[in-house]
Structure 1
Amino acid sequence: MGIPNIPSRKPEFDHKQCSHCRIQLEFQIPKSKSNNTVTSQISVRCYSCQKISTFDTIREANKTNGTTSCDYNNNNSGSSKKPRRQYGTAQEPLETELYDILGVSPTASSSEIKKQYYKLALQFHPDKNKSPDAEYQFKKISDAYQILSNPDLRKKYNEYGGKNDVEPEGGFVNPEDFFKQQFGGDRFVDIIGEISIGRDMKEVLQNAATEDTNGDVTEMRRETNEEERENIRQQRVDKLVSNLIHKLSMYVDSNDAKGTEQFKKVIEFEAEDLKAESYGIELLHAIGFTYSLKAKQYLGGDQIFGLPRFGHMLREKGHVFSETISTLRSAIDLQNSFKELQKAEQEGLDDIEKSKLEEATANKGLTALWKGSKLEVEAVLREVCDRVLSDSKERKEVLIKRAEGLKIIGEVYEHVKSDSEQVIG
């Protein structure tokens, strides 16, 4: 049986993404008075959010075969048709496709772009979003952010568009791996290790989708992963213990005030560098709190009756309890939002309300992911500090010096401020 021949027809409709809610639109370009061209600019009302998107079109008829070719640019300013520029600026990029993908203005700040990326990455993650093109959208979002979050690549894209193969050095990172790096990135790995955000997020989303219908399978999956998780955690702690001992050796080996001051300057310089990373200040504060508390616990143990140490231990327990409750509440809130989304899809909620619900869920997801990551980081670092300060192979004097150095690092990290706070201060 031969391959069937299916007739085709000349395309009548065009497709574009709504610049407001990002849903896919299909529309027919109206012809101009000339038979050779279509209108150079059109306004399209989105069937979902009912907002207007304006698109520039350069579409001329091919006189030899009657077909048409089209080039688009989003343009919500309503300006008249202009010749295509050869290069753009930060205020008026040559192309806006990547900004449209993320749903931000070309003049958006880096923090606005980052926040929108997190929202969309959670919204379109394939494990949560079951639409056929979710994986494709997830990759587009990741690729767009990898360019726009890099100042040099963003400048190049603004000036020349995508025609010069603008992409990160070494190519685009796998979206899953890239998303895992967003809390601190690689710069914090030597201090906190690899945060398991990607794997944990995937499990949360899968469990939220299957818990009601297949609770036994979910429980079996958790039990299977528990041993593997513990092995990975121990390897992580071992490495961080070695890293922290090496870091503290600069202070331990110093014997005067000059050495102490030099050590503090090195840590301050490091903190100023790290705070620029994604969630850098928040991570430094969490690390600093843990370091300071553990150092004070150890140093307070030598005082009369050990009362200061006991007080710091109570403070630690209270902090852990409070953070755990806060994280659980965020996780429950997120899970409830997923259930609301599933219910909305089943009941056929209109697209506008569904879009609002998806955005709210994405915000809750980001909050839950950060709180969960913070809880994980602090728990790992408490174990690391305990091992560093209870090393049976070292003399008491060395352990005391380690605790003093740990306290210095903790206090520096805890008091790191954003550039805007420093200006105000």
Structure 2
Amino acid sequence: MVYESRKPEPYVKTTCKECLTPIEFLPSTSHKNEKVEVKCWACDKVVTYEMDASGTALKGATTSKSKTTRKRGTDESPVSTEYYDLLGIPVSATQDDIKKAYRKKAIRFHPDKNPNDPTAEDKFKKISEAYQILSDPQLRKRYNEFGEENGVKPDGGFADPEEFFKQSFGGDRFVDIIGEISIGRDMRDALETQETEGSGGSGEEDTMTAEEKAEKEAQKAKSEQERAEVRTKRVDTLAEKLINKLSLYTELPDASEASVQAFKSIVQLEAEELKSENYGVELLHAIGYTYLAKANQYLGKNVAFGLGGMFHSVKEKGYIFSETVGTLRTALDLQSCFSELQKAEEKGLPEEERQKLEEEAAAKGLQAIWRGSKLEVESVLRDVCDKVLADSTASRETRKQRAIGLRMIGTLYQKVKADSTPDIQLDKENVEPNHQ
């Protein structure tokens, strides 16, 4: 068999700014220092690129020739603009612009949202790499000067994209208080359940043999047991750390106002540091609410024949039910929003309308991720507080003092205020409920 060949042409390789799919096109040398429109073979969107002085390469693109002949880039004119293009931002973008663009792209191209796209994981990874470089001023400067192909990367290499995405909502500094959270787990489970029911999942189960059903149930039970074991370990670890923190109050040498104020000052300093993390204020409010609710519930047991504790217990159950329903609704609302966006892209809506839908999807995605995470955090912390306040190894007086200290921490956490308005506003009722 004889294969046909073609004449070598100087095709320009790049990435579609819309769907992040690798593309290449053959430009005309007449387009020197001009903008050209290119239609993506994958998504059919028309995107604009700017050619260089030779008309055979993109401005800011690193080529094999430019590695040896191009001068060092600058912040205003980087050697490569690939990372900027991946996030859909100009080279002059601020850190806030970069953060907003990353969250928007990460949610849109997350593998969970694109199960039928085999390239989704690679796109998600590339977006994460772009953000890790551009969000670090020093790495961004090096990238602007030398480009991606010259070994610009964070110390220790790039972080796992999924783990890095999680770090964008809380960070490591909260781990000693809330443990390792699974961002969006409740949202993802709700979406998967809805999709299964909608695609006739029950009908598929009817065709399974008894052995297959038994194996499926056994695997499900095993997974649930593993999750339960992980959760138990997490609660035990966090309870021990919380007891150590509360010992700063319960083991005070005296109960003077000065000693109590010293404890409050320590908590206040910690809160001021934590609030600077992504979603730090929102997390502190959620933690504070749980601490305060559990402390009031414990202390109320010894007031008016225990009616105080009963009141706070009923209030807690109502709050949990409301938050659970709200989280599921938010997840399903996000699913609907993504469906609308997909239909709009198929219809080829104008750029302005499509952009508006993307912004809406990004905002709803962040809200769903937050609500799912908040639900999980509060659930775990309720168990942590119960373990701390029901500790049989501690005296009754010590447990009472722990509850008082817990109430102080919760009150201080809830009073924390952001230094500036967050870049994407969440529903106030989901972030700052009135718990007083």
Indicate the TM-score class for this superposition, using the shorter chain for normalisation.
Answer: 0.7 to 0.9
Q: Pick from 7, 25, 50: which aligns with 1:55? A: 50
Distance apart, 1:395 and its partner CA: 0.9
Q: Which residue of 2 aligns with 1:243?
A: 241
Structure 2 residues without counterparts, runs of 5 or longer: 62-68, 206-215, 422-436
Greater Cα offset, 93-102 or 209-218? 209-218
CA distance in 2, matches of 1:50, 1:4: 36
Q: Which residue of 2 aligns with 1:73?
A: 60
Normalization by structure 1: what TM-score? 0.80
TM-superposition CA deviations, 1:389-413 (whole Å, max 9, x none): 1111111111111111111111111
TM-superposition CA deviations, 1:182-234 (whole Å, max 9, x none): 32121111100111226556655554554433524799576553222212111
Mapping of 1:10-409 within 5 angstroms?
A: 10-11=8-9, 13-17=11-15, 19=17, 26-32=24-30, 39-44=32-37, 53-59=48-54, 70=57, 72-73=59-60, 86-89=72-75, 93=78, 95-129=80-114, 130-158=116-144, 160-162=146-148, 164-197=150-183, 203=189, 206-213=192-199, 215-216=201-202, 225-254=223-252, 255=254, 256-340=256-340, 348-350=346-348, 360-409=360-409
Secondary structure in structure 2 of the residue aligned to 1:53: strand
Instruction: Report if the CA contact (8 A) 2:51-2:57 is conserved.
Output: no
Structure 1 vs Structure 2 CA RMSD: 3.4
Q: 1:113 to 1:207 in 2, by over 3 A?
A: farther
Greater Cα offset, 400-409 or 23-32? 23-32
CA distance in 2, matches of 1:293, 1:200: 23
Distance apart, 1:380 and its partner CA: 0.8
Q: Which residue of 1 aligns with 2:5?
A: 7
Instruction: Report if the CA contact (8 A) 2:29-2:54 is conserved.
Output: no
CA distance in 2, matches of 1:153, 1:412: 37
CA distance in 1, matches of 2:177, 2:368: 22
Q: 1:289 to 1:200 in 2, by over 3 A?
A: closer
CA distance in 1, matches of 2:328, 2:139: 39
Q: Which residue of 2 aligns with 1:35?
A: none
Q: 1:341 to 1:213 in 2, by over 3 A?
A: farther
Greater Cα offset, 242-251 or 46-55? 46-55
Q: Which amino acid aligns with 1:43?
A: V
Q: 1:207 to 1:320 in 2, by over 3 A?
A: closer
Q: Which amino acid aligns with 2:233?
A: Q
CA distance in 2, matches of 1:125, 1:177: 12
Q: Which amino acid aligns with 1:114?
A: K
CA distance in 1, matches of 2:137, 2:10: 40
Q: Which residue of 2 aligns with 1:66?
A: none
Q: 1:344 to 1:351 in 2, by over 3 A?
A: closer
Q: 1:310 to 1:209 in 2, by over 3 A?
A: closer
CA distance in 2, matches of 1:198, 1:166: 31
Q: 1:24 to 1:204 in 2, by over 3 A?
A: farther
Secondary structure in structure 1 of the residue aligned to 2:417: coil
Q: Which residue of 2 aligns with 1:78?
A: none
Q: Which amino acid aligns with 1:186?
A: D
Instruction: Report if the CA contact (8 A) 1:86-1:160 is conserved.
Output: yes
Q: 1:164 to 1:31 in 2, by over 3 A?
A: closer
Q: 1:418 to 1:46 in 2, by over 3 A?
A: farther
CA distance in 2, matches of 1:365, 1:51: 26
CA distance in 2, matches of 1:11, 1:205: 46
TM-superposition CA deviations, 1:265-302 (whole Å, max 9, x none): 11111111111111111101100111111112222322
Structure 1 residues without counterparts, runs of 5 or longer: 33-37, 61-68, 75-82
Instruction: Report if the CA contact (8 A) 2:171-2:278 is conserved.
Output: yes
CA distance in 1, matches of 2:189, 2:9: 43
Normalization by structure 2: what TM-score? 0.78
Q: 1:72 to 1:134 in 2, by over 3 A?
A: farther
Instruction: Report if the CA contact (8 A) 2:60-2:79 is conserved.
Output: no
Distance apart, 1:170 and its partner CA: 0.6
TM-superposition CA deviations, 1:117-147 (whole Å, max 9, x none): 2222222122332234222211110111112
TM-superposition CA deviations, 1:75-128 (whole Å, max 9, x none): xxxxxxxx9663423x66554322221112334343432232222222212233
Greater Cα offset, 136-145 or 248-257? 248-257
Percent identity of equivalent pairs: 47
Q: 1:411 to 1:110 in 2, by over 3 A?
A: farther
Instruction: Report if the CA contact (8 A) 1:128-1:206 is conserved.
Output: no
CA distance in 2, matches of 1:395, 1:303: 19
TM-superposition CA deviations, 1:236-271 (whole Å, max 9, x none): 111111110011111111123333222211111111
Secondary structure in structure 2 of the residue aligned to 1:312: helix
Greater Cα offset, 113-122 or 281-290? 113-122
TM-superposition CA deviations, 1:150-183 (whole Å, max 9, x none): 3443344345543652221110011122223332
Number of residue pairs matched by the alignment:
396
Q: Which amino acid aligns with 2:99?
A: K
Distance apart, 1:361 and its partner CA: 3.8
CA distance in 2, matches of 1:336, 1:71: 38
Greater Cα offset, 256-265 or 152-161? 152-161
